[in-house]
Amino acid sequence: MKIIREDNSELEFTTMFEDENKASIFKHFKGNIYKVVTIAKECENLQDMVVYQGQYEDKPCWIREKKDFFALVDKNKYPDVTQKYRFEKIK
* Cβ–Cβ < 8 Å for 35, 25: yes
* Cβ–Cβ < 8 Å for 36, 23: yes
Give which of 67, 70, 62, 63 is closest to 87, Cα–Cα. Answer: 70
Structure letter (DSSP) for residue 70:
T
Global pTM value: 0.91
pLDDT tens, residue by residue, 37-64:
999 999 999 999 999 999 999 999 999 9
* Cβ–Cβ < 8 Å for 19, 1: no
Query: What are 4's strand-pairing partners?
Result: 10
pLDDT tens, residue by residue, 76-89:
999 999 999 999 99
